[in-house]
Amino acid sequence: MNSSLLIYEWKLLWRDRWAALTLAGLATLLLATLLANAWGLARDQADKARVAAAERARWLGQEAKDPHSAAHYSIYAFKPAPALALLDLGIEPFVGQAVWLEAHVQNDLLYRPQADATPLERSGLRHPASLLIAFAPLAAFVLALSGVARERERGTLRLALGAARDPRRLALGKCLAIWLALLLVLLLPLLLATAFCTGGWSGDTLLRLAGWAAVMAIYLAIAAAAAVAVALRARGLRTALAALFGAWALFTLALPRLASSAAEAVQPLPSTQSVKQQLLDEAPAFWSAETSRANEAAILARSGAASREALGGNYRGLELDLAERHSHAVFDRVLGAFHDRVLAQDAAYRAQAWLSPAIAANQLSMALSGTDFAQHRQFVDAAEQYRRALVNRMNEQVAAHAPDAAGKAHKGDAALWAAQPAFDYSPPRLHLAQLSALPALAAWLLVALAGLLYGARSYRT
């Protein structure tokens, strides 16, 4: 394909005023959404940093008290926003942003942004990725209708294809012109705005942004090729319009929702209340007299002592430590199994990416943006590990110090509080295993290109 053909097709596209207005309107909406997300995320991140600093100061400045009591008053841990959340919020609006780290309990995350969302935000169209996946195919269809279907009705397309030595080159030229228009008007401004709004670039962030751009470029190529292929095969403008909009409704609206329902049916999740009740039943924060006697027997058997007095130190601290470590095993088994089922449900949905390129693009976008559940779980696990280590150290302090002669228990002081490290979390780096939907997206590109070439060849025939 020579450059003159591409330039000619490019000029033809922009002669249609409605096609240009469609692209410009969608590009404006994408940029406005990205800038709104960038502002909101920056504001939230500043609030998190401010409150986290206040929480750390509160922890360091607390009065002398029983170390286990300090573990109960504990501290909040705040989840940092993924670097590319401004492109794709993923599950971020539906999961909490802070967790209270206290003894005996692995708490749920609090402050879900969705609770304060506007009606438009609750519709799911609140970030550029969802808008691009949903409406970029429509823009490609408008351009294809302008560049192919209208030419066909006027008779100029038959003359062009008839005069061409290889009609497939002409079809590829039209497809490439549409694809470049989508890239330059829709995708490139998003990338430039993201680079402007994102600070603290790292190699991982650059890799994620490059991968996100590549995924969206492939998705736009699929839309462009499919649009031209359908427009070539349709008998007229109305037929092409009906076929293209029907395909859009099927692949971007119907199939993703059917795939989601199928994933829920194949991998159902227990209710949150049932999980919480199981945790309360198996790892209660307080124990009965029978449980206390069983704890004493276990502690004495583990230490080889004949009685509490022979243990030394503070028996209460040993009992607190035993109960805490028992709860850890329960949390790992019950909550860990629940999180595994959520991941299994996500995998069941992702496995259906072969049904629609919109599913593949959506899953890859969240993985590259760092906003899927798998990466959220890593924050949950990191916060829980910090909580356990902190509570264990406080219980060790209780166990190591026997009450004084007056019967007063040992108290922690400022030196103990300062010896505890602050919670520090870094988002996980990108791994190839997170891009399991990429083969499906590549397959859809090959199918769209094959349909384009077949459409051009069959039209010539």
d(CA 79, CA 96): 8
Percent of the chain with pLDDT over 90: 49
**pLDDT, tens digit, 9 for 90 and up, residues 46-82:** 999 999 999 999 999 999 998 988 888 889 999 999 9
Run of H or E including 253: none
User: Over 362-405, what HEC string results?
Assistant: HHHHHHHHCCCHHHHHHHHHHHHHHHHHHHHHHHHHHHHCCCCC
Question: Is the Cβ–Cβ distance between 220 and 442 less than 8 Å?
Answer: no
More confident residue, 225 or 236: 225
Alpha-carbon span 127 to 39, nearest angstrom: 12
Structure tokens at 55: 């929480």
| Res 461: pLDDT | 42
**What pLDDT is recorded for position 356?**
95
Q: Is it the case that residue 188 has pLDDT exceeding 80?
A: yes
Alpha helical stretches, state H, 234-314? 237-248, 255-266, 272-282, 289-303
Contacts of residue 112, defined as CB under 8 A and 6 or more positions apart, other chains included, come to 93, 94, 95, 96, 97
Is pLDDT at 327 greater than 70 in this prediction?
Answer: yes
Using a 10 angstrom Cβ sphere, with 0-12 exposed, 13-18 middle and 19 or more buried, the burial of residue 433 is exposed
pLDDT for the residue 412: 86
425: left (phi over 0), alpha (psi -120 to 50) or beta: beta
d(CA 321, CA 23): 62
pLDDT band at 336 (very low <50, low <70, confident <90, very high): very high
pLDDT at 215 over 60: yes
Q: What's the pLDDT at 251?
A: 94
Residue 15 has pLDDT above 80, yes or no: no
Q: Is the dihedral of CA 136, 139, 141, 143 positive or negative?
A: negative
pLDDT of residue 157: 53
Residue 82 CA to residue 375 CA, distance in Å, equals: 9
Could you tell me if 48 and 371 are in contact, meaning their C-beta atoms sit under 8 angstroms apart? no
Of 85-89, 202-206, 453-457, the poorest mean pLDDT is in: 453-457
Task: Report the C-alpha gap between 134 and 154 in whole angstroms.
Answer: 31
- Let me know: does 229 contact 243? Beta carbons within 8 Å: no
Domain around 69: 1-461
Q: How far is CA 129 from CA 156, 217, 339, in A?
A: 37, 12, 25
Residue-level pLDDT at 453: 86
Q: How far is residue 26 from each of residues 129, 146, 182, 221, 303, measured CA to CA in Å?
A: 12, 17, 10, 17, 70
**pLDDT on residue 96:** 87
- Find the Cα–Cα–Cα–Cα dihedral 405, 406, 408, 414, rounded to 10°: -70
pLDDT in tens, 84-135: 999 999 998 888 899 999 988 898 888 887 666 555 555 555 789 999 999 9
Residues 162, 165: Cα–Cα separation, whole Å: 8
Average of per-residue pLDDT across 368-376: 93
Indicate the pLDDT class of residue 230, thresholds 50, 70 and 90.
confident
Task: Give pLDDT tens digits for 237-292.
Answer: 788 888 889 999 999 999 999 999 999 999 999 998 899 898 888 887 666 666 66
pTM value is 0.88
pLDDT band at 22 (very low <50, low <70, confident <90, very high): confident
Q: Look at the chain and report how many structural domains it folds into.
A: 1
Q: How confident is the model at residue 420 (pLDDT cuts 50, 70, 90)?
A: very high
At 411, the pLDDT band (50, 70, 90 cuts) reads confident
Helix axes 357-369 and 203-233, enclosed angle (nearest 10): 170
pLDDT average, residue stretch 441-451: 95
> Highest-confidence range of 18-27, 169-178, 218-227, 313-322, by mean pLDDT?
218-227
Whether residue 364 is predicted with pLDDT greater than 90 in this model: the reply is yes
pLDDT of res. 363 = 96
